[in-house]
C-alpha cells in the first residue's frame, strides 16, 4: 500500500493511518479494559462465563496486545456470545464451525492473536470433528471451551459432557450415554497444549490463558463454567468456596529431588492420559504440552518453495500461466 498525505482543516499535513511508518512507530496508548469492553454481557446473573470474560480482559490488559491484532471467534451457544463482548475483530460463526474459520484467519494472518470461545456442545458435539482436525494440524490458535455439561442456550438438553443420569429435556429419565472426556479427546486428537481450569478460579484461568497464548500451535483449555440456570452447583466439588477442593497438577521442576519423581511431566502423553482418567472433578492445570511444527510454519515453507520454483512469479502471473495452459 502506498503512503498518502492529506491536508487537514488547519493546514497541517497528516498521514493516513495504516500506511505511515511514522504512525506505526508512534507510542501506543496502553490497552485498557475500557478499550476492549464492547457490550454488556447478556448472560444470566451468576453464569460462570462472566468470570471467563473477566479473566480474558485481564490477560489482554496485562499483555498490552496491539488492539487491532486481537481476534475473538465463536460458534453458537451462550458461551459463544463471547466475541460480542470484546472490542476487537470478531465473529459469532456457524454452530461448531469456529475452528475452520479460525484456521483460515490464523493461516492467512499469522500476525494476529486468534482466540476461540465456545461451549461443550459447540466444541465436542457438532464441532467435534473440526476440533480433531484443528488439533492434528496444529494450527496456531487458543481455544477456550466453557464446559457447563449442558446445552444452555437452547434451555437444557443433554450435552456430550453431561454425566450419566443427568435429567434434561432430551433425557427426561436421565442420560444413559457415556460422556466425552475432553482431556482424553484432545490428547488423542493431537492438540499440542491441553489444560483444564475452573471459572471460580480467575487467577488460575489467567495463568493458563497466558501459557496457552504463548504456545506455538493448537492450544486448548477446558474450563468448568457453571450454568446456574440449567445445571447449578455441578462444579462445587472443585470449588473450595463451596466446600470442594481444587487440586492443581504439580508439574515437574526437573530439580533432581525425590519429590520431583512424583510430579507430572507435561510432555508425557501417557501420563496426561492417566490424569484424564481420574474421577470427577479431577485435577486442574496443564495436562500436556509438546513442541511440534505448526501448520502455519509448514505451509509458509511450502508456499515459499513452490514460489521459488516459479521464479518468484506474482500471483497474477501464476494465475495467467495456469489459464494459458488450459487454452
Ligand atoms: C446446526 C445447528 N444445530 C443446532 C442448533 C441449536 N443450538 C444452538 S446452541 C446449541 C447448543 C449450545 O450448547 P453449548 O455449546 O454447550 O453452549 P452453551 O449454551 O451451553 O454455552 C444448539 C444445539 C444450531 N444453532 N445450529
Ligand atoms: S442459560 Fe446457563 S450458560 Fe446460558 S447464560 Fe444462563 S447460566 Fe449461562
Ligand atoms: Mg454447554
Which neighbouring-strand residues pair with 97? Answer: none
User: What Cα–Cα distance (Å) separates residue 196 from each residue in 5, 55, 72, 113, 263?
Assistant: 51, 14, 20, 21, 17
Quick check: 16 pLDDT over 50? no
pLDDT at 23: 67
- Pocket test residue of 44, 119, 122, 156 for ligand 2, highest count of atoms within 8 A of CB: 44
pLDDT at 12: 36
**Complete DSSP assignment for 151-164:** ETTTTSEE-TTPPT
Give backbone dihedrals phi and psi of 209, rounded to 5 degrees, phi first: -60, -40
Separation between Cα atoms, residue 253 and residue 264, nearest integer Å: 9
Cα torsion at 271, 285, 47, 71 (round to 10°)?
-100
- Pick the atom of ligand 2 nearest to 155's CA: 1
Residue 219 confidence class, pLDDT cut points 50, 70, 90: very high
Cell of 54: 473477566
Cell of 222: 477446558
Mean pLDDT of 120-138: 98
| Ligand 1, atom 16, residue with closest C-alpha | 121
Q: What is the mean pLDDT of the chain?
A: 93
pTM higher than 0.85 for the full model?
Answer: yes
**Contact predicate 261/255, CB 8 Å:** no
Neighbours of ion ligand 3 (CB under 5 A): 119-120, 148
- Pick the atom of ligand 2 nearest to 48's CA: 8
**Complete DSSP assignment for 240-283:** GGGT---PBP-B------HHHHHSB-TT-HHHHHHHHTSPTT--
Q: What is the pLDDT of residues 262-286, one digit of tens each?
A: 999 999 999 999 999 999 999 999 9
pLDDT at 3: 32
Separation between Cα atoms, residue 208 and residue 82, nearest integer Å: 18
Q: What is the pLDDT of residues 33-77, one digit of tens each?
A: 999 999 999 999 999 999 999 999 999 999 999 999 999 999 999
Mean pLDDT of 166-174: 98
Q: Nearest CA to 249 among 265, 267, 234?
A: 265
**Contact predicate 80/46, CB 8 Å:** no
Ligand 1 pocket (Cβ < 6 Å) reads 76-79, 95, 118-122, 146, 148, 150-154, 159
Separation between Cα atoms, residue 35 and residue 73, nearest integer Å: 18
- Report the separation in Å between the CA atom of 119 and the middle of ligand 2, taken as the mean of its atom positions: 11
- Report the separation in Å between the CA atom of 79 and the middle of ligand 1, taken as the mean of its atom positions: 10
Q: What is the pLDDT of residues 149-166, one digit of tens each?
A: 999 999 999 999 999 999
- Report the separation in Å between the CA atom of 232 and the middle of ligand 3, taken as the mean of its atom positions: 12
pLDDT at 26: 79
Q: What is the pLDDT of residues 240-263, one digit of tens each?
A: 999 999 999 999 999 999 999 999
**Contact predicate 241/204, CB 8 Å:** no
| Ligand 2, atom 5, residue with closest C-alpha | 43
Amino acid at each position: 500500500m502506498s503512503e498518502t498525505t492529506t491536508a487537514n482543516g488547519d493546514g497541517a499535513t497528516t498521514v493516513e493511518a495504516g500506511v505511515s511508518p511514522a504512525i506505526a512507530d508512534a507510542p501506543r496508548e496502553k490497552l485498557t479494559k475500557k478499550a476492549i469492553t464492547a457490550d454488556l454481557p447478556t448472560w444470566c446473573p451468576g453464569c460462570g462465563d462472566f468470570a471467563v470474560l473477566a479473566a480474558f480482559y485481564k490477560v489482554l490488559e496485562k499483555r498490552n496486545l496491539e488492539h487491532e491484532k486481537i481476534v475473538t471467534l465463536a460458534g453458537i451457544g451462550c458461551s459463544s456470545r463471547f466475541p460480542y463482548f470484546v472490542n476487537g475483530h470478531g465473529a459469532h460463526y456457524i454452530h461448531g464451525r469456529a475452528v475452520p474459520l479460525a484456521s483460515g484467519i490464523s493461516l492467512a494472518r499469522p500476525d494476529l492473536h486468534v482466540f476461540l470461545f465456545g461451549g461443550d456442545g459447540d466444541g465436542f458435539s457438532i464441532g467435534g470433528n473440526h476440533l480433531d482436525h484443528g488439533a492434528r494440524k496444529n494450527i496456531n490458535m487458543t481455544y477456550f471451551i466453557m464446559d457447563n455439561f449442558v446445552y444452555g442456550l437452547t434451555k437444557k438438553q443433554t450435552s456430550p459432557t453431561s454425566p450419566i443420569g443427568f435429567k434434561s429435556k432430551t433425557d427426561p429419565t436421565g442420560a444413559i450415554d457415556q460422556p466425552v472426556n475432553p482431556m482424553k479427546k484432545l490428547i488423542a486428537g493431537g492438540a499440542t497444549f491441553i489444560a483444564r481450569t475452573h471459572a471460580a478460579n480467575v487467577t488460575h484461568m489467567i495463568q493458563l490463558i497466558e501459557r496457552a497464548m504463548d504456545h506455538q500451535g493448537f492450544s486448548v483449555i477446558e474450563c468448568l463454567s457453571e450454568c446456574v440456570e440449567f445445571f447449578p452447583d455441578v462444579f462445587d466439588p472443585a470449588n473450595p468456596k463451596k466446600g470442594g477442593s481444587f487440586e492443581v497438577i504439580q508439574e515437574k521442576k526437573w530439580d533432581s529431588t525425590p519429590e520431583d519423581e512424583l510430579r507430572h511431566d507435561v510432555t508425557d502423553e501417557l501420563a496426561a492420559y492417566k490424569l484424564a482418567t481420574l474421577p470427577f472433578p479431577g485435577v486442574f492445570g496443564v495436562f500436556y504440552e509438546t513442541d511440534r511444527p505448526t501448520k502455519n510454519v509448514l505451509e509458509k515453507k511450502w508456499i515459499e518453495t513452490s514460489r521459488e520454483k516459479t521464479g518468484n512469479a506474482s500471483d497474477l502471473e501464476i494465475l495467467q500461466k495456469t489459464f494459458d495452459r488450459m487454452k
